[in-house]
Structure 1
Amino acid sequence: MLSRTADNLFWLSRYIERAENLARILDVASRLANLPSAYAGTSNEWESAVATAACVDTFHDAFDEVTPENVIEFLAFSPTNPGSIRNCIETARHNARAVRTALTVEMWEIINSAWLELQSLSAERLRSGPELARFLAWVKEMTLRFDGIAYRTMLRNDAYYFSRLGFQIERADNTARILDVKYHVLLPQTEPVGGGLDYFQWAAVLRSVSALTSYNWIYRDSVKPWLVADFLILREEMPRSLACCYGNIVRFLDELAVSYGRQGDAQRLSRRVSSDLRNATIEGIFQGGLHEFISQFIVGNNHVAQAITKQFLT
């Protein structure tokens, strides 16, 4: 496969996954903003949404104040924000168009129809509560359909493996950032850890990755910070956990090594990250600092992505 084709498939999947995560981030911020009056006004959920999306500096370059309207505009619709939902879908469609012969018909149709529908939507109308909720649900449904269609229709060849690598790298990055922002940004200093607002926020974190029900299945306990962190970092049966993402990354890179007859830094680095996750304990993570652990993971994840790019995509 041409490296340019592999690169387009890799980034197509990353932008699709990024659009879904942005929709989930905005959905959670909106839910937290609508908490009962006993909690409303004590949180900084819209600042945390910008921080989770890793675009604090670019946001403040565009807006002077963090308001719901400005955050929604910037993360969902802004043409000047390269990471907005609108631009993610448009860039994904551009990558898909460049590699149409590597995609199944159904994959192209879902991303192209989503892009066409997006052109007809009015950003001003979608900023209202019910309309915004419907838009975010539409984004999540579109990305889940694309992911499911890819899984059900693609041949298990190098095109599939590069596509899945993009999904997993982006998913791991977003899960880590969601956890980090909750732990360091979302709960105000005046609020007690373990209090009502803290509980609602951790539950919202689980909802943001569609994991509240499965959390209850595994732990059969109330929502507790260390259990949520354990679930989203170390539990391999959780599809969005860091451990599950890296188990899949190692597996897909091994398949590519068989196809191309050689291994390189991408395999070595991904195995190291996966091994560190398998050998970690949640007690050790909290003892060393959750923020420090996640920061180190994000750096390592970026190194793996760069190694994949250098080894296969350039």
Structure 2
Amino acid sequence: MLSRTAENMFWLARYMERAESTARLLTMGQRMAILPGAHHRDEWRSVVRATGADCHFPEGTTVTESDVVSFLMLDLDNPSSIRSCLLKARANAKSARTMLTQDMWEALNDGWRKLDSYDLSEARQQLPSLIDWVKTRVMTFRGAADSGQLRNAGHDFLRVGSALERAQMTLRLLDIKYYVLLPETEVIGGSRDHYQWTSVLHALSGSRAYHHVYGGTYTPWQITDFLMLNRLFPRSVAYCYDQLAFRLNRLAGWHNARAECNDTIEAMVTELGALDSGEIFRIGLHETVQSGLAASNRLGAEIAQAYHFG
């Protein structure tokens, strides 16, 4: 398989996953912003911070919903905006067209310039429906890939890109809650704290799955355990790491050679498997998350090096 094609499949998946993840961040921002005192806590800045783009908004200024919708949904100058991600995903797909099924291509192509027709005022007015549209586009593409694509190296690169991006998103959402949105001491465990934690589950479509595992009780420790360590929930960090290990092992088989990325992901799986939620909080959730983000960034660079991405 050509390195260029492998890179296109890898980044196609990452851009689609990133578009959906950013849409989920906007949903979480809306839910957080309606809480009492949200304006003073600058909740919308935390959403931008989760994308790593906080430098675009000077400290000391209030970040508004308009700022975030413009920057994270519509701004073509922001390479991680939803609009930019969908355009880049389609460009990558076009370059790897022979690796896609017709249904995959149609899922990417259907209404691909939709966001071009929206100005900021219209986007804010229709934000819930636009978020649903983005999530539907990505899930339709994912379903088409799962149901029709050959299980060859191209599919593995697609799944590697998706799992890597998804793991990073789950880590960032946890970091928003515990570090950026850490409530004042007197309200830890209170109704607002509870609402913020359940908002993290909602943003990851994990509320019902969590309920099946833990019933009706919601605590920071259980939610962290679920999103970090549960190997059955497809958006947990542990599940994504397992997928990365499996797919990278298959790619090593396709190419008859292991690479540094194989050793790195095996170490990441082992290290995470040695933790429980109590240990994560003893170490510090923020510190654990930052370590995971650093490891996943290193893994991405090693994958690019192993398969000669440009």
Cα deviation for residue 122 of structure 1 reads: 3.9
Q: 2:90 matched to 1:93? A: yes
CA contact (8 A) 1:8 1:95 kept: yes
The equivalent residue for 2:188 is 193
Cα deviation for residue 40 of structure 1 reads: 5.2
- C-alpha distance in structure 2 between counterparts of 1:33 and 1:178, whole Å: 15
Tell me which of 109, 122, 126 is aligned to 2:123.
126
Cα deviation for residue 67 of structure 1 reads: 1.0
Range with greater deviation from structure 2 (86-95 or 41-50): 41-50
Letter in 2 for 1:28: M
Q: 2:275 matched to 1:275? A: no
CA contact (8 A) 1:191 1:197 kept: no
Tell me which of 95, 103, 106 is aligned to 2:103.
106
Tell me which of 290, 299, 306 is aligned to 1:295.
290
Cα deviation for residue 39 of structure 1 reads: 5.7
Cα deviation for residue 64 of structure 1 reads: 5.4
Superposition map of 1:157-168 within 5 A: 157-168=152-163
Cα deviation for residue 219 of structure 1 reads: 0.7
Tell me which of 233, 238, 263 is aligned to 2:258.
263
- C-alpha distance in structure 2 between counterparts of 1:275 and 1:211, whole Å: 24
- C-alpha distance in structure 2 between counterparts of 1:97 and 1:303, whole Å: 28
- C-alpha distance in structure 2 between counterparts of 1:44 and 1:194, whole Å: 20
Superposition map of 1:33-44 within 5 A: 33-35=33-35, 38=36, 41=39, 43-44=41-42
Cα deviation for residue 275 of structure 1 reads: 1.0
Letter in 2 for 1:98: S
CA contact (8 A) 1:20 1:139 kept: yes
- C-alpha distance in structure 1 between counterparts of 2:55 and 2:278, whole Å: 33
Task: Name the TM-score, length of structure 1 as normaliser.
Answer: 0.94
The equivalent residue for 1:46 is 44
Aligned residues: 309
Superposition map of 1:173-212 within 5 A: 173-189=168-184, 192-212=187-207
Alignment root-mean-square deviation, CA: 1.7
Superposition map of 1:8-27 within 5 A: 8-27=8-27
The equivalent residue for 2:232 is 237
CA contact (8 A) 2:69 2:123 kept: no
> SS where residue 280 of structure 1 aligns?
coil
Percent identity (aligned): 38
Counterparts in 2 of 1:94 and 1:191: CA distance versus 1, 3 Å: farther
Cα deviation for residue 176 of structure 1 reads: 0.4
> SS where residue 110 of structure 2 aligns?
helix
Cα deviation for residue 43 of structure 1 reads: 4.1
Counterparts in 2 of 1:206 and 1:299: CA distance versus 1, 3 Å: same
Letter in 1 for 2:12: L
Which sections of structure 2, spanning at least 5 residues, go unmatched? none
- C-alpha distance in structure 1 between counterparts of 2:64 and 2:308, whole Å: 39
> SS where residue 234 of structure 2 aligns?
coil
The equivalent residue for 1:29 is 29
Encode CA deviations 1:207-245: one digit per residue, 9 max, x unaligned: 000001111110114211111110000000010111100
- C-alpha distance in structure 2 between counterparts of 1:42 and 1:190, whole Å: 16
